Copies of this chain bind each other. A is one copy, B any other.
Amino acid sequence: MPDTGLDWEERLKEYLSANDLRLTRQRRLIAEAFFESEGHPNIDELYLRVRRRAPHIGQATVYRTLRLLVDSGLAASSRFGGAATRYEASDDDHHHDHMICISCGLITEFSNDAIERLQDEVARAHGFEMRSHKMELYGLCRACVERGPATS
């Protein structure tokens, strides 16, 4: 795996040309901001980040571009709790799920092949053709547990 994690640009170009779409300055900037981001940014965070470099960009363009990234398979979206949609780069070969701390908001990723297999099995048993899935564990992260039943 010689990859440094920077081939999203290639993949994006492929998707765009395959669909008669254009690689614009703002699409590149937004994608850049997205793939540079740690964690699970939401539209607001990406918008602010992109704006620093391109003050003229519109929020709608960020929404439109993130939808495009999701459609192309380069990004995945999730909504944790009731908050705004968050995005992350999708890793085709290794799906992962999330643990969300209900106290501090920390989002931790994990993956478990045994669970994945069981999910496939359950789906198959129902004649269901699974395309994707999503699993979220809510609770207290280690730090918040140790900090004890904090006064809210």
Contact = CB atoms under 8 A, between A and B. Distances in A.
Contacts of A138: 130-134
A101 B128 CA distance: 8
Given A119-B137, A134-B135, A137-B133, A128 B142 contact: yes
B145 A139 contact: no
A141 interface: yes
Interface stretch (A10-18, A23-31, A107-115): A107-115
Interface residues of A, number: 33
A115 B119 contact: yes
A118 interface: yes
A55 interface: no
Interface of A: 79, 82, 85, 99, 101-102, 108, 110, 112, 114-115, 118-119, 122-123, 126-142, 145
Given A128-B141, A134-B134, 10 more contacts: A79-B79, A99-B123, A112-B118, A115-B119, A123-B139, A127-B145, A129-B140, A133-B137, A134-B136, A135-B135
